[in-house]
Structure 1
Amino acid sequence: MQADRTLNLLIALDDSDRANQLMYLLRDAGYTLNSNLVDQNTDLQELLNQQEWDLLLTEMELKSANVRGITTALKNRQPDTAVVMISSTDDPESNVVVEGLRMGADYVVPTDEDQYFLLAVSNSLENVKQQRKRASWKQLYLDAESRCEGMMDNNKDAVAIVKEGTYIYSNPVYSRLFGFDDPDDMLMLPVIDTIGKTSQGQIKPYLKPLSADAQIESTSLNVTGTTTAEEDFDTTINISQILYQSETALQFLIDHRILSPEITGTLTAGEATSNLSDIQPKKVIATIDQAILKAARTEEQALAIYIRVDQIHEFKSHSDAAGAEKLLDAVYNFINQHSPRPQTLLKFADDVIVALHEINSLDKGRQYAEELSRAIAAQTFAAGEESLALSTSICVSALNHANQSAVACLKQCQQAIAGDDSNLRNTSAEARIYCFDNVEFDRFESEKATIEFGRLLLEKRLIGIAFQPIMALQGEPAEFYEVLMRPKVEDYPYEVPEDFIDRVFKTKVAGEVDRWVILESVKALAEKLKKSPDTKLFINLSATSILDPTFPGWLKIALQAAKVDPAHLIFQLREIDVGRHIDQSDQLIKQLAQLRARSALTHFGLAINPILVLDKLSFDFVKLDRVLVKASLEGGENAKGMVNLLNATQDMKPALIIPFVENPSIMPTLWEHGVDYIQGYYVDEPRPSMEFDFVESS
């Protein structure tokens, strides 16, 4: 952002003199300011509605208002606005920078660091400029995509777009080929329903979730298609991977030269109209996409209310389509009259109505949905000669910058109502209202994928283990190995995060993984002890196992069954888990000691006062975090962190382990400070079996 254009500035500082000083600095740097002060009397929502802001200046120790509330409200409404926080402390050992970043700051600047402040502002505004430029280009891209879609509508080739095995677009030629009068009738239809049984095996590999990183080669498939009248026909589908609505998808194309004239004839002549002519899934998708774009451009969040009438399909089973249509019409008219706010109201399916509300609060949307559900339940609706009491299932989805597309939004709603997503909460057992804010949905989806993949690995016995030796410098001369979990798969599915192993230990499936790894480890250890009776294993435990009161009892039985002495095992607890669960960790350490097993504290040294944990709990080993080891190798001021910890722990009980020793350059420091053990590629890499020669390497 150029310094000569107007900077729209929000200021939330207790000291007005300091605020003026910062404004003078900005003006001297060439910025023209349009500023506004924010305090507890300020209507922040009104300010955010007035215009687009570029920068918020605030301070960590703000007393005149709630700084976290200000940054949260700002990021929810205008996520690309930069935040620079001023801190009164410049102590490098304090946690102030981390806390500031957690509160939404782009930079945390110490007081009186004027040059740092100006650089932070300049860099933050450049990021704002780039984010807004990306949003503008995205709008242009989507406009171009919309024009391309118009060209596909008038194409004589049969064209469809498929995502995750579902049609998300089909042109009139394609829909007529499969017996549909209206292309909208194919939206959200599973592809497999339009393919003959003899060809379903061919098409299934192309119905899986796609990854932009793994391009599918274009191909042609000779398949048997199935029409709505269950008539089979042979055709050739040309499949290619494309980007559609900014997401990876597949294009299905059938050349018009192999189609009959009645299929490829004039597109508008003689087209039959659907009985439910006012069901408009395509218009629903387009309207939601426009709302998402508007939210990205203006930060004006809207809500999509997905309303399913629960009894319509049952009614159709003993009535007719016309009666079901009248029933949906009656509900549609009732919702239209009941709504107190301007809205777009459209029919999405024969039992679903979608409303778009200009409500910027998920809580208000939930309240509206609950009131609407109760109002519908209190009414009776006429359909022919019948009068029915109806219930609804309603999903409220925030349309904001985090939404990927209308199709994804609608699919989330369908999954929520079907009960497929345990992360979406049912707010009322009677009303069946589901709410989600898409700012958090990506995190939920990632956690869900991690849990599901972890369970799959357990069920298919695809969790393997590797052993990395830990060599003694001056400690107990045993043959120590750390057990490392290694999934037996070459590549993770695209939806599983790359740091799966780290993430799985933060989920509820972690306890099951712990037990599997322990069983596999002691099985291997039992065999190893026959040849090397001094072998001992370090095994990691998650927070789930720390909190599980049944774990010590289970461990005792498992070791008895494997005929392994617990003295050959050391269980590793992470510093962050121990810090959060001091009492439970203390109890577990004592229970392990009663079994004659030992304990180790890993990832040590990242807490504000790491020595405090060692003073409170009795560990046998302590292993530093890799961050400290890496900083020591890089030199400079950061290198002091590891040396300070080595000095502080030198006279304490636990034996000290330094992991991630990758080369000999660090060895003099470790010898000088009395380190007991080292681990890393300098010693040996993790291997599937315990074959390291400790005698030759000592």
Structure 2
Amino acid sequence: MIPDSALKLLLVHDSFEEANRIVSLLRNANYRAESKHVNQEEVLSKLLQEKPWDMIIGQYQGENTPIKSIFSLIRRFDLDTPVILISEQYNITEIVEGLRLGATDVLPMDEDQQLLLVVARTLFNLEQRRLLRQFRRRYADAETRCERLLGSSVDAIAIIQEGTYLFTNDSFAQLFGHLESDSMLCLPVIDTIAPEDHARLKEYLRPIDKDEEIPLETLRFTGITNDEIPIPIEARIAKVDYQGEPALELVISRQFLDGQVSTGDDQGTEPSGAMNIQRDKVIELINNAIRLAAQKHSSSVLLYITLDRYSSILAEIGIQKTEELVSQLVDKIRDASSQDVSLMRFKEDTLVMIMPNTGTDAALMFANQLCETVGKHIFQLGEQTFTLTLGIGASVISETVATAEGCIEKALSALTELHQKNNGDFANGANLYQSEIGPEYCEEDVEETARAMLEDKLFELLYQPIIPLQGKQEQFYEVFIQTKPEADEKVLPDNFIAKVFKTDAARDIDHWVILESFKALSEKLKSAPTTRLFINICSHTLTDEGFIPWLKVALKASGLYPKNVIFQLREIDVARQYHRSVELIEELSKINGDVALSHFGLAIEPMKLLQNLSVNYIKFDSVIIEKAYQNDESLAELKSLISSLKIENEQIIVPFVERADMIPILWTCGVHYIQGHFLQPPSQRMNYDFSDDDN
């Protein structure tokens, strides 16, 4: 950006005089600064939503608007607004934390020449990013035009990658007996080729390297339609670049098609429904909103609206009634919406709404109200009544968005996060995608937040059964910890629980988990006296020499025996604190307590690690099990490791059992216990039926 261009600047500073001094400095350096002074978080939020800003210069130690609030708002509104922080003095800790939060730079106060150089560099980088997004938008527009040309071509065209169809136009789909091209997406090419031609064409169904040369040639083979009717095919095949990846293009000429395809009048019609699926139109509308955001700096919000449990509804009442239900749903959504929004059907179970000139807060509020309105409404089909719920992923269409597909992916990411919280296809709520400009939490923040959440009782325990394979009668559960749903308002970072256990707060959380587990176990033992709990302890607790005395007091207070629980240590923690681990295991053994070694098998010599450890149970790491699912060689390695453990008389637990066919294999190998979501995911109650003969 050239120095005499307009610089739209926000100065987030407690002192108006210092903010004014910075503006004067920039103007003396020939910047035409259009600036606003901000000393309240609410004002900053309002200004960031009104129009785009080129830069924020903020006070590191600001009290009225803390720097974490600045970055939180930028993430929430999905903005590309660089932030320069001014600190009272040179402090490497503050520099590191500022950069970790996402600042472009952290400067000491009164270093005016350094500030001018950083401003120039920051604006240049900003201009380059804006140009890059502009070129990406142009590239996406060009790809869209190419897609339209491919789709409307009189020739039958297909794009193939690694043996599957990535794209087919209508002519190609109809040739192979499909009503629409979407039904061939991801279909294996081999399924559309006669068996006698498989070997000859197999060469074209493998992965292709970017630098690999594949000459243009004509192929003749017998195709198989959707109705298993053989048809002769003559097609040109060539290597192309499709969406940035190497692929093969198969083209069947119009002249050849004229002798093969009927006019299509007898193909039938699609069932009448609420709204035709218009994927291309949705993409076009999003692209228009992207162009508007880039040219006029007017942000919009995309709502990706899905019908919860669509598959179950379809299976229950059929496609015709489902379409009638969707039609009523569309009318309900339109009634709840303003007239200037665009609502279109993107997939069978998905509608897309574009809300122009709308802030994220307003859009998210509308989305949540829409979920509530639909959830309370009774839908009527003849004599049947239905209640429906929605899952809505929201994403901002701002200057940072380059493509429509990217915008949809963000909304999908927000929706997926919502589904994960509800463990399935049920959402009944809305969630906004927030970009990751930089980690919002450093280690000190995580520890402080964890301690506050512990005090506010925002953690809860889950229990997952560990099921015996060899006819034993114990009822084992492993204890897990998670944050309560209401804790999400704190906008916790990804993998928050894992990050917590790297801080000093981990010891206190371990104590809380143990005490809460003891309470639950005392109650459970009244109805199931053979119940035992596997409780994980972290490296901080492992190295705590006061743990065993504390544990004795906790056991006495709860009325439990040490044998009622099994303390679980991670292999990596034991390897790092080997001598202390040996001491702790011996101390637990003296009070008749058992120990399990979890995440086993990743050490360079895992069996050697066990030589001086008197552990009672061995649990494999998920990586070992996942590899065993993938190929016979890894499965053989797992079996060999199990055999070595059996020689040492170890009780073996295999977690992450997610396939029924693995159970007889593990039973044959002599595995003692299994665990996994396939059997039962973690739940808030210890309610697994261990008496079930099928288990």
Relative to the length of structure 1, the TM-score reads 0.54
415 and 391 in structure 1: CA distance in 2 versus 1, 3 angstrom threshold: farther
Aligned to 2:642: none
Q: Matches of residues 130-279 of structure 1 in structure 2 within 5 Å? A: 130-161=128-159, 169-183=167-181, 185-186=182-183, 190-191=187-188, 195-196=192-193, 198=195, 225-235=223-233, 236=235, 238=237, 240-244=239-243, 247-248=244-245, 250=247, 252-256=249-253, 259-261=256-258, 274-276=270-272, 278-279=276-277
CA distance in structure 1 between the aligned counterparts of 2:437 and 2:36, rounded to whole angstroms:
33
Map 1:219-618; keep pairs closer than 5 Å: 225-235=223-233, 236=235, 238=237, 240-244=239-243, 247-248=244-245, 250=247, 252-256=249-253, 259-261=256-258, 274-276=270-272, 278-291=276-289, 298=297, 300-308=299-307, 310=309, 314-315=313-314, 319=318, 321-339=319-337, 342-358=340-356, 368-383=366-381, 385-400=382-397, 406-407=404-405, 424-426=420-422, 432-433=428-429, 435=431, 437=433, 439-440=435-436, 546=539, 590-592=580-582
Specify whether residues 572 and 296 from structure 1 end up closer, same or farther in structure 2 by C-alpha distance, changes over 3 A only.
farther
Q: Take 2:74 and 2:544, find their aligned partners in 1: how far apart are those partners?
A: 45
Task: Check whether the contact 2:55–2:82 (CA below 8 A) recurs between aligned residues.
Answer: yes
Structure 2: which 5+ residue stretches go unaligned?
Answer: 440-494, 503-535, 546-570, 587-695
For the residues of structure 2 that align with 1:428 and 1:132, how far apart are their CA atoms?
A: 39
Shift of 1:124: 0.6
Query: Which whole-Å CA distance do the structure 2 matches of 1:258 and 1:147 have between them?
Result: 24
1:405-438 Cα distance to aligned partner (Å, 9 max, x none): 5556667877998x8x799433999754463626
Question: What is the DSSP-based 3-state SS (H/G/I as helix, E as strand, rest coil) of the residue aligned with 1:58?
Answer: strand
Q: CA deviation at 1:126?
A: 0.6
Offset of 1:161 from its aligned partner? 4.6
SS in 2 for 1:134: helix
Distance 1:56 1:372, change over 3 A: closer
CA–CA separation in structure 1 for the residues paired with 2:305 and 2:123? 38
Report which structure shows greater RCO (CA 8 Å, sep ≥6).
2
**Contact preservation (8 Å) 1:56, 1:83:** yes
Measure the CA separation in 2 of the matches of 1:118 and 1:24: 12
| Structure 1 counterpart of 2:337, one-letter code | S
Deviations 1:353-375 (A, max 9, x none): 33334586767656544543443
Residue 88 (structure 1) shift: 1.3
Native 8 Å contact 2:305 2:350 kept in 1: yes
Letter of the aligned partner of 1:195 in structure 2?
Answer: T
Deviation at 1:117, TM superposition (A): 1.0
Look up the SS of the partner of 2:249 in the other structure.
strand
Contact preservation (8 Å) 2:58, 2:83: yes
Tell me, yes or no, if the aligned pair for 2:375 and 2:388 is still in contact at 8 Å: yes
Instruction: Work out whether residues 301 and 360 of structure 1, in 8 Å CA contact, stay in contact via their aligned partners in 2.
Output: yes
Q: Is the 8 A contact 1:161 1:249 kept in 2?
A: no
8 Å contact from structure 1 (residues 215, 241) kept in 2: no
- 1:392 to partner: Cα distance: 3.4
Match of 2:123 in 1: 125
Partner of 1:72: 72
3-state SS of paired residue (2:280)? helix
Match of 1:23 in 2: 23
User: Take 1:85 and 1:550, find their aligned partners in 2: how far apart are those partners?
Assistant: 39
CA 1:123–1:423 in 2, change beyond 3 Å: closer, same or farther?
farther
- Is the 1:327–1:381 Cα contact (8 Å) retained in structure 2? yes
Is the Cα contact below 8 Å between 1:82 and 1:124 reproduced in 2? Answer: yes
* Structure 1 residue 390: Cα displacement: 3.7
The equivalent residue for 2:99 is 101
Q: Secondary structure at the match of 2:435?
A: helix
Say if 1:378 and 1:343 are closer, same or farther in 2 by CA, change over 3 A. same
Consecutive unaligned residues of structure 1, counting only runs of 5 or more, are 444-502, 511-542, 553-570, 574-583, 597-698
Secondary structure of the 2:174 match is: helix
Q: Identify if the C-alpha distance between structure 1 residues 167 and 331 changes in structure 2 by more than 3 Å, giving closer, same or farther.
A: farther
Contact preservation (8 Å) 1:546, 1:585 = no
Contact preservation (8 Å) 1:210, 1:248: no
Q: 1:311 to 1:10 in 2, by over 3 A?
A: closer
**CA 1:380–1:167: 2 relative to 1, 3 Å:** farther
Deviation, structure 1 residue 306: 2.5
Question: Could you say if the C-alpha distance between residues 145 and 45 of structure 1 is closer, same or farther in structure 2, counting changes exceeding 3 Å?
Answer: same
Deviates more, 1:4-13 or 1:217-226: 217-226
The residue that corresponds to 1:581 in the other structure is: none
Residues 209 and 409 (structure 1), Cα distance of their counterparts in 2 relative to 1, 3 Å cut: farther
Contact 1:397 1:438 in 2 (8 A): no
Q: Given the superposition, is the C-alpha separation of residues 405 and 216 from structure 1 closer, same or farther in structure 2, using an over 3 Å criterion?
A: farther
CA contact (8 A) 1:307 1:353 kept: yes
| Percent pairwise identity | 24
CA distance in 1, matches of 2:163, 2:379: 36
User: 1:150-208, CA deviations, whole angstroms, 9 ceiling, x for partnerless residues?
Assistant: 3323323322456798766533322322334444x448554569635847899999889
Superposed CA RMSD: 5.1
TM-score computed with the length of structure 2 as normaliser: 0.55
> 2:360–2:396: 8 Å Cα contact kept in structure 1?
no
Q: How far off is 1:396 after superposition?
A: 1.0
Residue 5 in 1 paired to residue 5 in 2? yes
In structure 2, the CA distance between the partners of 1:548 and 1:291, relative to structure 1 (3 Å rule), is: farther
SS in 2 for 1:35: strand
Deviations, residues 479-501 of structure 1 (Å, cap 9, x unaligned): xxxxxxxxxxxxxxxxxxxxxxx
Structure 1 residues 275 and 263, CA gap change in structure 2 (3 angstroms): farther
Q: Within 2, Cα distance between the matches of 1:293 and 1:301?
A: 11
Give, in whole Å, the separation in 2 of the partners of 1:311 and 1:68. 40
Measured in 1, the distance between the counterparts of 2:386 and 2:220 equals 49
In 1: Cα distance, 2:15 partner to 2:208 partner: 53
How far apart are the structure 2 equivalents of 1:335 and 1:140?
33
1:691 paired residue number = none
Q: How far apart, in 2, do the equivalents of 1:204 and 1:395 lie?
A: 42
Instruction: State the alpha-carbon separation in 2 of the partners of residues 415 and 24 from structure 1.
Output: 44
Partner of 2:561: none
Does structure 1 residue 54 correspond to structure 2 residue 54? yes
**What residue identity is the alignment partner of 1:111?**
M
Amino acid at match of 1:25: L
User: What's the counterpart of residue 614 of structure 2?
Assistant: none
Deviation string, structure 1 residues 476-530 (Cα, Å, up to 9, x no partner)? xxxxxxxxxxxxxxxxxxxxxxxxxxx9xx899x9xxxxxxxxxxxxxxxxxxxx
1:585-644 residue CA offsets vs partner (Å, 9 max, x unmatched): 999863345679xxxxxxxxxxxxxxxxxxxxxxxxxxxxxxxxxxxxxxxxxxxxxxxx
Aligned residue identity for 1:305: Y
